[in-house]
């Protein structure tokens, strides 16, 4: 099981354009800035975002850029017919959202304090902790709402003109399998008033505030440093600005617009495991989530390798020891909140019924509801949407399928000869190498990604496997053993740069082939010159800017042009 960069806490617990007229980094922003560039009605075909030239400390503002046209990808041995556009008939269009990561940034169970172990330094980073803290994480609810607003405005596929039939979230919809995070995510997509806040309703109680007693310069403090305390490292080393009032603005209720189309849910490792890694059945972790103590700073001289080992083997014991004041750990009091309680998979499924919205249960079935499973299928005309649950309840961030689900998948594919099949999961085929059994209570043997892909390729009606997890836009041809094959379409996240979703359209070329068009979607948050505190949408623009300056990762999620706006050719399995 490979553990890669930005993965332990997520998995275990174009540039250079001039920035004329933009505020220079480090300058206090105006709370009244609310102007916004509306999203393009054609997604990123019309216009998109990029980053400006770097300031003296490397900080970049977000600016608008020319859009990207669709590139035709080779890969499955199908030659593109130049006349296909004149014959083309649109069949369906829909939207994929992935890795939204609605975060309770004040939760005692967050492990922001490990992030510094991978900060740039003369010492080599371990490469495991750099997703545990992000400067933009208090704005994830506003980003989700801004994405909804962009999707509602676009409304139709930019190539076929077909109205969106649905949206589907491919997992990690919450960040830490907490009740409040799950409900915030559903609330944003359903619409209505949402307040992404927990604990004390009158003040922020996370690591980003400027409370002098536990002030830690490793974090970005948007209100600035308290008297007598040093400027934080994000400001002093990376040019981050001061944004007074941001934490209160982030906590304020906002009116979520809600998707104007039905939406479906896929289960991700952050939805089913604590910090995306640890089984929620661990009672002690639930008690810590509901408790009144939050670790702010780790002990000096902490060994990253030993910490990784301790988190992997007994996270509850490690955290309890640190909360007890071991080795001069800095701990603060926070207000306990029962809405931070950890949910089982069955309880997450139930919330999708309890909170309503269309369709009822958001894809989850009565069988899922009673048995606590999270895999299902549904049909739209000639298309069959097959949703997998790739989360291993025994722990660890990467995925696999249990034996019962794998048998269900094979039987369903055998019965789907008259359908065009698309498979949806959180994990990619390459991140499904998790064989763990029994450590979280499930004793079923696991099927890993290679075997799942082999099974899909054995059925010519499967044209695409659509997923997330990696936070990187990637499209990979998966040729079949005797010709044909499918496209694996992986979409980046809402929480990291570039904070994009993806439109997927399918068209019949009337020559025995189908075209799958994918178009990236930027959320409705404005460029840096419109970001501020005046609205949830403006805050989403600020979140995008902050994500572009994450000192651990601020570029790779975009992928290459061939991973974004493309045309993918496949054989029509029904021709």
Instruction: Name the residue with tokens 């400001």.
Output: 235
Nearest residue to 36 via CA among 493, 523, 519, 496: 523
- In whole angstroms, give the CA distance from residue 45 to residue 573: 29
Which alpha helices (DSSP H) does 355-505 contain, by range?
366-371, 403-414, 449-457
Please tell me the predicted confidence (pLDDT) of residue 2.
34
Task: Retrieve residue 502's tokens.
Answer: 């993806």
- If residue 421 lies in a helix (H) or strand (E), which one and from where to where? strand 420-424
CA atoms within 13 A on the CB side of 415: 9
- In whole angstroms, give the CA distance from residue 179 to residue 102: 11
Going by their DSSP bridges, the two strands 474-479 and 485-490 should be labelled as: antiparallel
- In whole angstroms, give the CA distance from residue 47 to residue 572: 32
Segment 350-359 long-range contacts (CB within 8 Å, at least 24 positions apart): 351/179, 351/182, 351/183, 351/186, 352/186, 352/265, 355/183, 355/186, 355/187, 355/190, 356/190, 357/186, 357/189, 357/190, 357/263, 358/262, 358/263, 359/262, 359/264
- In whole angstroms, give the CA distance from residue 188 to residue 98: 14
38: number of Cβ within 10 Å: 12
Which alpha helices (DSSP H) does 214-360 contain, by range?
233-238, 246-251, 269-272, 283-289, 304-313, 315-323, 345-354
Handedness of CA 228, 232, 233, 237 (dihedral sign): negative
Separation in Å, CA 78 to CA 201, 454, 514, 515: 58, 20, 10, 11
Please tell me the predicted confidence (pLDDT) of residue 50.
96
Query: What angle, rounded to 10 degrees, do the helices at 179-190 and 345-354 form?
Result: 30
Please tell me the predicted confidence (pLDDT) of residue 174.
97
Instruction: Enumerate the β-bridge partners of residue 503.
Output: 95, 519
* 375 CB-near residues (< 8 Å, 6+ apart): 368, 387, 388, 389, 405, 408, 409
Please tell me the predicted confidence (pLDDT) of residue 171.
97
User: Using the 8-state DSSP alphabet, how is residue 164 labeled?
Assistant: P
Task: Retrieve residue 36's tokens.
Answer: 């916004």
10 Å CB burial of residue 81 (0-12, 13-18, 19+) is middle
Nearest residue to 140 via CA among 274, 270, 5: 270
Handedness of CA 192, 523, 151, 168 (dihedral sign): negative
User: Using the 8-state DSSP alphabet, how is residue 338 labeled?
Assistant: G
Please tell me the predicted confidence (pLDDT) of residue 44.
96
Please tell me the predicted confidence (pLDDT) of residue 21.
31
Per-residue pLDDT tens, the chain, 575 aa: give them.
Answer: 333 334 443 333 333 333 333 333 454 554 444 445 667 788 999 999 999 999 999 999 999 999 999 999 989 999 888 889 999 999 999 999 999 999 999 999 999 998 888 777 655 555 557 678 999 999 999 999 999 999 999 999 999 999 999 999 999 999 999 999 999 999 999 999 999 999 999 999 999 999 999 999 999 999 999 999 999 999 999 999 999 999 999 999 999 999 999 999 999 999 999 889 888 767 789 999 999 999 999 888 777 788 878 887 788 888 888 887 666 889 999 999 999 999 999 999 999 999 999 999 999 999 999 999 999 999 999 999 999 999 999 998 999 999 999 999 999 999 999 999 999 999 999 999 999 998 888 899 999 999 999 999 999 999 999 999 999 999 999 999 988 999 999 999 999 999 999 999 999 999 999 999 999 999 999 999 999 999 999 999 999 999 999 998 666 899 999 999 999 999 999 99
Task: Retrieve residue 382's tokens.
Answer: 């000639």
Q: For 73-119, how does the pLDDT look when each residue is reduced to its tens digit (9 = 90+)?
A: 989 999 888 889 999 999 999 999 999 999 999 999 999 998 888 77
121: number of Cβ within 10 Å: 9
Separation in Å, CA 289 to CA 9, 193, 274, 342: 16, 25, 10, 8
27: number of Cβ within 10 Å: 9
Instruction: Assess whether the previous peptide bond of 359 is cis (omega < 30° from 0).
Output: yes
Nearest residue to 445 via CA among 435, 432, 455: 435
- In whole angstroms, give the CA distance from residue 173 to residue 153: 22
- If residue 520 lies in a helix (H) or strand (E), which one and from where to where? strand 513-522
Please tell me the predicted confidence (pLDDT) of residue 280.
76
Handedness of CA 348, 350, 353, 356 (dihedral sign): negative
CA atoms within 13 A on the CB side of 549: 29
Separation in Å, CA 162 to CA 158, 166, 170, 326, 505: 8, 11, 22, 60, 8
End-to-end CA distance of the chain: 40
User: Using the 8-state DSSP alphabet, how is residue 517 labeled?
Assistant: E
- In whole angstroms, give the CA distance from residue 164 to residue 473: 21
CA atoms within 13 A on the CB side of 467: 29
Task: Retrieve residue 34's tokens.
Answer: 């609310």
Please tell me the predicted confidence (pLDDT) of residue 316.
85
10 Å CB burial of residue 441 (0-12, 13-18, 19+) is exposed
């Amino acid at each position: 099981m490979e553990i890669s960069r930005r993965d332990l806490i997520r998995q275990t617990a174009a540039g250079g354009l001039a920035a004329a007229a933009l505020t220079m980094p480090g300058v206090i922003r105006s709370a009244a800035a609310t102007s916004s560039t509306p999203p393009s009605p054609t997604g990123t075909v019309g216009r998109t975002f990029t980053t400006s030239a770097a300031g003296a400390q490397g900080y970049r503002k977000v600016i608008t850029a020319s859009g990207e046209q669709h590139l035709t990808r080779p890969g499955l041995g199908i030659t593109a017919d130049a006349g296909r556009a004149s014959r083309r008939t649109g069949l369906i269009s829909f939207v994929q959202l992935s890795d939204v990561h609605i975060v309770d940034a004040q939760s005692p169970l967050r492990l922001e304090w490990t992030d510094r172990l991978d900060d740039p330094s003369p010492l080599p980073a371990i490469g495991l902790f750099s997703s545990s803290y992000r400067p933009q994480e208090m704005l994830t609810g506003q980003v989700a709402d801004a994405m909804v607003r962009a999707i509602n405005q676009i409304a139709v596929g930019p190539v076929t003109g077909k109205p969106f039939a649905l949206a589907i979230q491919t997992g990690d919809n919450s960040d830490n399998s907490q009740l409040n995070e799950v409900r915030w995510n559903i609330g944003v997509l359903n619409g209505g008033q949402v307040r992404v806040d927990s604990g004390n309703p009158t003040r922020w109680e996370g690591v980003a505030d400027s409370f002098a007693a536990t002030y830690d310069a490793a974090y970005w403090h948007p209100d600035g440093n308290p008297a007598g305390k040093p400027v934080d490292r994000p400001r002093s080393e990376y040019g981050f600005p001061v944004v007074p009032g941001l934490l209160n603005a982030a906590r304020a209720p906002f009116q979520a617009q809600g998707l104007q189309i039905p939406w479906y849910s896929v289960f991700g490792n952050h939805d089913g495991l604590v910090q995306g890694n640890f089984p929620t059945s661990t009672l002690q972790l639930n008690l810590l989530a509901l408790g009144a103590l939050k670790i702010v700073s780790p002990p000096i001289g902490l060994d990253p390798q030993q910490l990784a080992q301790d988190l992997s083997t007994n996270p509850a014991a490690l955290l309890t020891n640190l909360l007890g004041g071991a080795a001069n750990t800095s701990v603060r009091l926070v207000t306990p909140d029962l809405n931070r309680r950890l949910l089982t998979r069955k309880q997450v499924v139930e919330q999708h019924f309890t909170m309503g919205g269309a369709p009822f249960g958001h894809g989850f079935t009565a069988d899922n509801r009673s048995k606590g499973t999270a895999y299902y299928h549904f049909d739209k005309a000639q298309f069959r949407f097959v949703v997998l649950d790739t989360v291993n309840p025994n722990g660890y961030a990467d995925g696999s399928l249990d034996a019962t689900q794998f048998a269900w998948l094979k039987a369903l594919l055998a019965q789907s000869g008259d359908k065009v099949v698309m498979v949806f999961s959180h994990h990619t085929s390459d991140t499904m190498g998790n064989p763990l059994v029994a450590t979280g209570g499930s004793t079923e043997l696991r099927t890993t990604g290679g075997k799942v892909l082999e099974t899909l390729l054995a059925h010519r009606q499967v044209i695409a496997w659509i997923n997330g997890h990696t936070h990187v836009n990637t499209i990979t041809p998966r040729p079949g053993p005797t010709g044909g094959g499918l496209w694996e379409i992986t979409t980046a996240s809402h929480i990291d740069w570039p904070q994009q979703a993806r439109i997927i359209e399918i068209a019949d070329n009337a020559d025995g082939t189908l075209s799958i068009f994918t178009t990236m979607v930027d959320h409705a948050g404005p460029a840096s010159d419109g970001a501020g505190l005046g609205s949830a949408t403006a805050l989403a623009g600020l979140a995008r800017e902050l994500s572009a300056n994450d000192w651990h990762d601020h570029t790779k999620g975009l992928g290459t042009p061939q991973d974004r706006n493309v045309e993918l050719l496949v054989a029509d399995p029904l021709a």
